Amino acid sequence: MEPVSSFYIKTSPERFDAIVVGSGITGGWAAKELTERGLKTLMVERGRPVEHGVDYIGENKDPWVMPNRGKVDATVADEQYFNQKMCYAFDEHTQQFFNNDRDMPYSTPQGRPFSWIRGNQLGGKSLMWARQSYRWSDLDFEANLKDGHGVDWPIRYADLAPWYSHVERHVGISGSKENLAVLPDSEFLPAFDFNTVELALKKKFDAKYAPARMIMGRTANLRTPGETQLAQGRGQCQARSQCHRGCSFGAYFSTQSSTLPPAVATGRLRIATDSIVHSVIYDPKTNRATGVRVIDANTLEMREFHAKVVVLCASTLASTAILLNSKSEAFPNGLANSSGVLGHYLMDHLFGAGASGRVEGFENDYYQGRRPTGPYIPRFRNVMEKHEKFLRGYALSGGAGREGWTSAAWKPGFGKDFKAMIRKPGAWRFGLGGQGEMLPRFENMVSLHPTKKDKWGMPQLHIDCSYSDNDRKMQQDIADTAANILEDLGLKDIEKHIKSLEDWPPGLSIHEMGTARMGRDPKTSVLNGYNQAHDVPNLFVTDGAAMASCAWQNPSLTFMAMTARACAHAVDELKAGRI
């Protein structure tokens, strides 16, 4: 295979079959699916190129060789990464993959912060994602219809199931078959192991809380690679838990490790990096998108690329921003926005609540390696019985580990005994934290700021999003329930925690979804069941913007399945001459 670098272009006079905007989890999948189905495809990325392995500059660096031992320079963080620094994955090893907030500003209303975590480079956030991978079920796709919040999804689980399988076989999802109604099984590679304490707690939990169950978190890390992943040049997870620095083993799924190589191998992919999409070009005569206008990130020069199909995979908010900025006489409020709902129904997952405690005994048990996932309790709220206080539900995830030097330092003592105590593995602790579903609400929205612009002259996005009463009640229940579970499992010194809005504003969960939602009715939704704009048939949006609800599971696997399905549909429609 030729190196990817030979496929970079700046300009092109040719008309492509398809343009994919963005190169993250969905952009990579769109490029792979479209090129493998025969389309000459251009991938447009606003950030710089990142070569697999070569550009993972924080990888394999011992703490003592880092200037700040892995900690971020406070001045740099405060002045340039004031939003990104809130992300758990942001540190001295990973800083290069996070956006500079000073250079890429957005606005929020006074008192309603939103933490937009972004990674603008080839590979996007696929380089820093948390890799948890879960199918959604009909409990999720029917939720809007049943309780009336949000529009009904135009698809059901059966529409996506074969596409889940399609992407899972390529990505490699480690997990265990469980036959749970709320959480369909994936096509699995072997799951990561529980440790001794987790196994003991799982037995207690499964017996007491059936049909709820504690399972191993399903993740796009290769505990044991399959033939398909080995053929991609990917290797086994080394359990370093340094995934966010980039993984040259390709042991987790990223654009660079998994979707880009096969797309490049077709010979039909071109990549334009440092190209900020200004807008989608629209031809009112044909009612078709004809390409994209881009701003050169370095020279500010404006260019155009042309294609028969445009697929937006720029990330939830960026794809919507592009549509909002693509104004014409036919679409004065943003392209494909005849419904007026473009920008509305922004969601993120509820986080920041849970409980932890001490586990007695097991002094002779330890573990080796840093597992990239942990025990997971799928949704049990509002499944069989209706909860009196809130709609929808949440998952709990966590794990058990022995205390080390970080917690010992906050205990009494110093000197030789203190040092000797730290040398021995400390007490076992086990914790659970929640991830809950946020309701889709019209008032949670993004728009283009009327006056503020960024340094490329693009209007800034104005993000107005807050939690509702339902969200807060669910957050409280997450903490209470987690604490009750720990008590039932026999833990000691149980502590509950709930983060305030200041500590965990919307956006920080990095599961932002909605703002160009799917739906059955063009009057109340932007996209149809194939992620195809109701208004403009050769325009697709296949990232998180398309989501009509946010479910309780991590969304990335669903983004992948939807993208593959939408792109297959686009190719069929193009070949049939319908778009």
Residues that bind another protein (CB under 8 A): 60, 62-75, 192-196, 198-199, 223, 236-240, 363-371, 402, 404-406, 408-410, 412-416, 418-420, 422-426
Partnered with residue 356 across adjacent β-strands are: 431, 495
**Residue among 27 and 225 whose Cβ is closer to another protein:** 225
| DSSP assigned state of 519 | -
Give dist(CA 34, CA 334) in Å, integer.
Answer: 26
Distances (CA, A) of 53 to 5, 60, 233, 247: 14, 11, 12, 7
**Residue among 403 and 573 whose Cβ is closer to another protein:** 403
**Residue among 401 and 440 whose Cβ is closer to another protein:** 401
Contact between residue 158 and residue 195 where contact means Cβ atoms under 8 Å apart: no
Give dist(CA 181, CA 136) in Å, integer.
Answer: 10
CB 253, min distance to another protein, A: 18
CB 119, min distance to another protein, A: 22
Give dist(CA 156, CA 138) in Å, integer.
Answer: 6
Q: Give 159's contacts (C-beta < 8 A, 6+ positions apart).
A: 529, 565
CB 361, min distance to another protein, A: 12
Give the number of other CB atoms < 10 A from CB of residue 308. 19
**Residue among 88 and 442 whose Cβ is closer to another protein:** 88
CB 217, min distance to another protein, A: 12
Give the number of other CB atoms < 10 A from CB of residue 439. 23
CB 67, min distance to another protein, A: 4
CB 252, min distance to another protein, A: 14
**Residue among 116 and 252 whose Cβ is closer to another protein:** 252
CB 99, min distance to another protein, A: 20
Write the secondary structure of 293-312 as one string of H (helix), E (strand) and C (coil): EEEECCCCCEEEEEEEEEEE
Burial 344-362 (b: 16+ CB within 10 A, else e): bbbbbbbbbbbbbbbbeee
**Residue among 198 and 437 whose Cβ is closer to another protein:** 198
**Residue among 70 and 105 whose Cβ is closer to another protein:** 70
Rounded to the nearest 10 degrees, the angle between the axes of helix 25-36 and helix 556-575 is: 30
CB 194, min distance to another protein, A: 5
**Residue among 334 and 401 whose Cβ is closer to another protein:** 401
CB 523, min distance to another protein, A: 51
Strands 394-402 and 428-436, sheet pairing = antiparallel
CB 113, min distance to another protein, A: 19
Give dist(CA 402, CA 430) in Å, integer.
Answer: 9
Give dist(CA 333, CA 326) in Å, integer.
Answer: 8
Nearest to 276 by CA among 93, 80, 118: 118
Nearest to 561 by CA among 35, 136, 232, 266: 136
**Residue among 148 and 404 whose Cβ is closer to another protein:** 404
Distances (CA, A) of 462 to 102, 225, 322, 339, 563: 15, 43, 13, 20, 27
**Residue among 242 and 338 whose Cβ is closer to another protein:** 242
**Residue among 6 and 64 whose Cβ is closer to another protein:** 64
| DSSP assigned state of 437 | P
Instruction: Find the helix or strand (DSSP H, E) in which 313 lies.
Output: none
CB 222, min distance to another protein, A: 10
